[in-house]
């Protein structure tokens, strides 16, 4: 039979991408986690610098001022972000983008914890539950992430860059960014946090794609497979990364100056991660060989992280603690307390909107 002939089988069997080396995969994972720690810290450090600058009466960053360049604290924050981005950049050379990018949720966790300590922002019980959900969601994504390399050389990547789908995506991102920078930003950037964050996230998705390509070039060069430093594509990736990071830094500073860190960080994470996954799917096709279980696992992990981020920030101003939980677990007859409400009732339930904690 034809199936007994190995030559026939090899001709008809599709060639699949080779799996990631286990050691390299875990190196990329560790780099991604350390990146989140440095980047999460950088948000707090730069916010401290902006607060300090505003107290001096200097022109705010949101108004086009660049006084923060004279603040050493801001430079420390920039250094922290630089280290984090370097680790993040290295992670893309060892692990798939659809794994590295969602792990950025850990930077939200770090920012939430540090903001409660150094910016006097509240981290209540719901915020702590959100932190746990971020960790759980990240773990699920690690377990179900793609384990196969889709691009092994710059020549393969160059072919994928010419794909009409990716070209359309790049044109759409550039057009959207210019439109926001020139038309939408000056009008609505001070009113809605999504405006500047959308621009940062869209440009950031191109940064990640360029980082992946640059990391691939450096990896080939260091491993001695081929010297890619003379390849024109390597330098295009480098200049793209530098330009995109400059744009991101400028508009992220404006968003941080205008809005609370607890709002900027999660919104940036959700939009940035979503657009990176879209761009990665179009260019690298990292999800091509995932089975249904892994796709569902990645989706559940991502949604779990989003729920954790919502709990971290949407309810951060509520005074919720374990005492409130214990109160809800009390017997019903203990939860009925005598008080006078607006309707003239003699009894009201603990937790009723007509009963404040001060009256209990």
Q: What distance, in Å, lies between the first and last C-alpha atoms of the chain?
A: 84
- DSSP letters spanning 127-156: HHHHHHHHHHHHHHHHHHS--B-S--SHHH
Low-confidence residues of the chain, pLDDT below 50? 1-16, 343-360
Q: Which of 258, 353, 267 is nearest to 309 (CA)?
A: 267
Please report the pLDDT score of residue 14 as a whole number: 42
CA angle 126, 101, 220 (to 5 degrees): 155
Judge contact between 170 and 178, C-beta under 8 A.
no
Please report the pLDDT score of residue 333 as a whole number: 59
| Residue that has been written with the tokens 């959700």 in this structure | 270
Please report the pLDDT score of residue 332 as a whole number: 61
Give CA–CA dist 64/151, Å, rounded.
41
Please report the pLDDT score of residue 174 as a whole number: 93
pTM exceeds 0.95? no
| Domain boundaries of the chain, sorted by first residue | 147-289
Please report the pLDDT score of residue 27 as a whole number: 85
User: What tens digit of pLDDT does each residue of 125-177 get?
Assistant: 888 888 888 888 888 888 887 765 566 677 778 888 888 888 999 999 999 99
Residues in CB range of 358: below 8 A, 6 or more apart: none
At residue 64, the 3 state secondary structure works out as coil
At residue 337, the 3 state secondary structure works out as strand
Please report the pLDDT score of residue 346 as a whole number: 43
């Amino acid at each position: 039979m034809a199936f007994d002939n190995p030559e026939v089988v090899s001709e008809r069997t599709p060639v699949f991408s080779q799996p990631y080396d286990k050691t390299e995969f875990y190196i990329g994972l560790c780099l991604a986690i350390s990146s989140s720690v440095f980047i999460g810290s950088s948000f707090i450090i730069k916010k401290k610098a902006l607060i300090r600058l505003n107290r001096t009466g200097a022109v705010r960053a949101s108004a086009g001022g660049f006084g923060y360049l004279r603040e050493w604290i801001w430079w420390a924050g920039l250094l922290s972000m630089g280290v984090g981005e370097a680790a993040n950049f290295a992670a893309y050379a060892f692990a798939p983008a659809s794994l590295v990018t969602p792990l950025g949720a850990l930077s939200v966790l770090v920012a939430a914890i540090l903001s409660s300590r150094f910016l006097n922002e509240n981290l209540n019980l719901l915020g702590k539950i959100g932190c746990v959900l971020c960790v759980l969601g990240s773990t699920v994504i690690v377990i179900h992430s793609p384990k196969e390399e889709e691009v092994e050389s710059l020549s393969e990547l160059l072919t994928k860059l010419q794909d009409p789908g990716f070209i359309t995506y790049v044109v759409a991102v550039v057009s959207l960014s210019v439109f926001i920078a020139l038309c939408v930003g000056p009008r609505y950037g001070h009113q809605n946090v999504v405006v500047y964050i959308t621009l940062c996230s869209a440009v950031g998705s191109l940064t990640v794609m360029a980082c992946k390509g640059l990391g691939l070039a450096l990896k080939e060069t260091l491993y001695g497979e081929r010297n890619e430093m003379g390849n024109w594509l390597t330098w295009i990736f480098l200049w793209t990364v530098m330009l995109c990071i400059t744009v991101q830094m400028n508009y992220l500073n404006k968003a941080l100056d205008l809005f609370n860190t607890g709002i900027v960080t999660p919104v940036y994470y959700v939009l940035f991660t979503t657009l990176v996954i879209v761009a990665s799917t179009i260019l690298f096709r990292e999800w091509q060989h995932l089975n249904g279980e892994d796709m569902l696992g990645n989706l559940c992990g991502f949604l779990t992280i989003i729920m954790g981020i919502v709990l971290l920030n949407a309810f951060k101003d509520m005074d919720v603690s374990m005492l409130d939980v214990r109160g809800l677990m009390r017997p019903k007859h203990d939860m009925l307390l005598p008080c006078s409400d607006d309707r003239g009732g003699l009894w009201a339930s603990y937790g009723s909107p007509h009963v404040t904690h001060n009256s209990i």
